[in-house]
Amino acid sequence: MSSTLSTSLFAGHGIVLPIVLPLAAGSLLLLLEKAHSRWVGAVSLACTLALLLLAVMLALQAGRGDVQAYLLGNWQAPYGIALALDRLSALMLVLTAAVGCGALLYALGGDARRGANFHALFQFQLMGLNGAFLTADLFNLFVFFEVLLAASYGLLLHGDADGRRQRLKASVHYVVFNLSGSALFLIAVSLLYGLTGTLNMADLAVKLPQLGAENSRLAHAAALLLLVVFAVKAALLPLYFWLPDTYGSATAPVAALFAVLTKVGVYAILRVTTLIFVPGAIATDAGSAGVAGTFLPVLALATLVLAAIGTLAATRLRGLVAYLVVGSAGTLLLAVGLGTEGTLAAALFYMVNSTLVAAAWFLIVDRIAAQRGGSDLLQPRTLSAGWAPLGIAFCIAAVAVAGVPPLAGFFGKALLLKAAGGTPLVVWVVALVLGSSLAILVALARAGSTLFWAGGEPAGLAAPKALPGFTVHSAADSAAHTAAHTAAIVALLAAVLGCAVAAGPVSAYTSAAAAQLLERKSYIAAVLGAAPVPAAYDVRRELRERERERERERESVK
Amino acid sequence: MLLLLALFIGTLAGCGVWLLLRARTFDAVLGLTLLTYAVNLFIFTMGRVKVGAAPLVDKGGLATLASHADPLPQALVLTAIVISFAMTAVLLAIALRASAETGSDHVDGEEPR
């Protein structure tokens, strides 16, 4: 025990810091926004960079292989709320912080000032995301979902007067949809509590197989309800309709940060299907593919097809990118649904690349629209500045997202196809993954040639008006703003390229993470075996002694 | 009593879903409120319904669930109530602003054709 403590960050408190740091930063920024608004951007960026550093350190710590638990209230595991850090959680933390840094840097180029309290909401969003990735308690997961959703409601509405109408419309849909999802989440969680008497994920993993046959149908229903809720967040086929509208109307840095939001759903599905609802955990489906294994791959394949059609049919670049996000969620859920160690490793590898590139896409779209007079309609129009820098960024992002060599998107899809070899759906997986990649490539090639090569104003076509939500690129854009925009896009694309260059180490890490997920024992043992730290100052003894003293006084008065 | 509770939860949830599907913002807010009431009662019931039992262990009493109510669902319900209350307030603000901005209380911001 002492050896793990001495080697872990901040005497073992490092695990809770990714939640505490954004919380403190967000609260501080709320105060600063009123009094010293000049400092807000710098403080926010510094905190997010610190978060990235912290996440990388935690990933290095988790990379050594042992799962570490943190008892929040210092109560033994099933009774109190526990946090747990394994390779998957650490990977998600790094990914969130990296996307957060990119989005925030871009926001400093003017978008952050288009509404109130952007930075505080941004930090609270990071807090909710980190908490959801770290928690080992199902109800706590619900609470962190609500934290990140509450922040995302605010961020979605962020922006200036033009486009407010569209944002409000998207917000009403988004909030109502997510609140209904929360209701389902609570029903599922309380049903599981009623059946097993516990909400700790590790404890649930132990207790669920012990349920009698008479309760297994209820447990099955609860598991499916949970998966529905997570599928809402992950944008699986029948439940993805909120996504294109929401991502299409949000301000660019917010949309970039929302690229992580769908991954929370994927993460939650991954966590519960590998830890709690493993094949055979519920008595009625013993021996079958588990709760998710039967329907998840099929729905994910259908999602892929729809995403491909969506990209081909898009009339605006924003819409196209939103369907790219749906497509990447479909690929990920397909890999998770197949559920072998190889496909999980491929999914995690693909997730790193696709999240970073999706975030970069939203920023690039915003720049392209700004250069085209505030419109991202896929129509020929002269760019106000040269096409070269944006064209190169567009090309790199297109190659990375379509899964063409030499970038990491290709490795991810290749790993997935290779790992899908032994599964029953292999023909469909190969056909539809390759087919959707082709459709996405065609859609992007067409969009790129329209945007960059078909210059000039064609006769008979009115110049597009500035669409709501975009700013028009003008000479008034200061050099500092342009620098922030460029730095953000370059940083995210560099991370994407880095994924391809460091494909070996990254895929070694994701393979180890997948192996750790399927070998559930270490997670369960770490969470349930974590011992509370003995109190340095025993409050109860103090109370007892005071009580005794009072009684003595009473007796002496008598 | 269990049957009464079940009927009550079912009615609340049914009304909530029906109101939600009316696609008017105010109805959606009311529907979500009813739905959360149903959910909160459901969580409460999942701790087993017990009359006249305290969730706190008395002095000298046996610390088992046979003589006490389960305190955990009550704590969960408290959390759920606070969250749903805050979220309803947020939704109301957004819905009010949306209907002021679009001139329609339909969730799509325009009357269906």
Q: Does the CA dihedral A517-A522-A523-A524 come out positive or negative?
A: positive
Instruction: Round to whole Å and give the CA distance between A83 and A143.
Output: 13
Helical segments of A283-316, H only: 290-293, 296-313
Give the CA dihedral A388, A449, A349, A484, nearest 10 degrees: 30
Q: What gap in Å lies between CA A456 and CA A320, rounded to an integer?
A: 23
How many Å apart are CA A544 and CA A214, to the nearest integer?
46
Q: What is the mean pLDDT of each run of 10 residues along chain A (558 residues)?
A: 50 88 94 85 93 94 89 85 93 95 91 84 95 94 94 89 82 92 94 91 90 85 92 87 85 91 93 87 63 83 92 88 92 89 92 93 88 74 70 89 83 87 84 91 89 63 54 60 88 91 91 91 90 78 86 86
CB of B79 less than 8 A from some CB of A: yes
Could you give the angle at which helices A138-157 and A118-134 cross, rounded to 10 degrees?
A: 160
A520: its two tokens: 């559930």
SS (H, E, C) A488-532: HHHHHHHHHHHHHHCHHHHHHHHHHHHHHHHCCHHHHHHHHHCCC
Interval A446-468: pLDDT, tens:
888 888 877 655 544 444 555 65
> The pTM is what?
0.91
Whole-angstrom distance, CA of residue A376 vs CA of residue A174: 23
- pLDDT at residue A288 in the model: 57
Q: How far apart are the first and last CA of chain A?
A: 52
First CA to last CA distance, chain B:
47
Helix and strand numbers (H, E) in chain B are 3, 0
Whether the Cβ atoms of residue A327 and residue A443 lie closer than 8 Å to each other: no
Q: What is the pLDDT along chain B (113 residues), one digit of tens a residue?
A: 889 999 999 999 999 999 999 988 899 999 999 999 999 999 999 888 888 777 777 776 677 777 788 888 989 999 999 999 999 999 999 999 888 888 888 888 777 77
Measured in whole angstroms, the distance separating CA A45 from the mean position of its chain's CA atoms is 19
Tokens of A449: 């040639």
CA distances from A356 to A95, A359, A397, A452, A491 (A): 8, 5, 10, 23, 10
Name residue A354's beta-bridge partners. Answer: none
The interface residues of chain B toward chain A in range 3-32, judged by CB-CB distance below 8 A, are 20, 25, 28, 32
Please indicate if any CB of chain B lies within 8 Å of the CB of A5: no
Interface test with A, best of B27, B87, B88 (most A CBs within 10 A): B87
Strands A82-85 and A68-71: antiparallel
Residue A29's pLDDT is what?
Answer: 93
Angle at B100 between CA B94 and CA B102, to 5 degrees: 95
CB of A333 closer than 8 Å to CB of A306: no
Residues 28-57 of B with CB under 8 A from A: 28, 32, 35-36, 38-39, 42-43, 45-48
Topology annotation, domain B2-50+66-102: Helix Hairpins (1.10.287)
Give CA A2 to chain center in angstroms. 33
Considering CB atoms only, which of A139, A179, A193 is closest to B91? A179
**CB contacts, 8 Å: A190 with chain B:** 39, 42-43, 46, 73, 76
Report the alpha-carbon distance of residue A408 to residue A351 in Å, rounded.
10
Within A276-387, where are the H helices? 290-293, 296-313, 317-338, 341-371
pLDDT in tens, A350-400: 999 999 999 999 999 988 888 777 677 777 766 666 677 888 888 889 888
Alpha carbon A192 to chain centroid, angstroms: 25
Please check whether residue A183 touches B, CB under 8 A: yes
Instruction: Let me know: does A274 contact A344? Beta carbons within 8 Å.
Output: yes
Are B73 and A190 in contact (CB < 8 Å)? yes
Encoded tokens for B19: 């109101």
In sequence order, the 6+-apart residues with CB closer than 8 A to the CB of A473 are A370, A371, A373, A374, A384, A385
Interface contact A477, partner B, CB < 8 A: no
Contacts of A362 (CB under 8 A, 6+ apart): A247, A252, A253, A255, A256, A259, A318, A321
C-alpha dist (Å) from residue A299 to A143, A175, A295, A423, A444: 28, 24, 6, 16, 24
Angle at A273 between CA A267 and CA A278, to 5 degrees: 160
CA A60 to chain centre: 20
**Spatial CB neighbours of A518, under 8 Å, sequence gap ≥ 6:** A274, A341, A344
Angle at A49 (CA atoms; ends A44, A52), nearest 5 degrees: 130
Chain B residues within 8 A of A169 when measuring between CB atoms: 98, 102, 108-109
Residues facing residue A68 across a β-bridge: A85
Residue A370 near residue A252 (C-beta atoms within 8 A): no
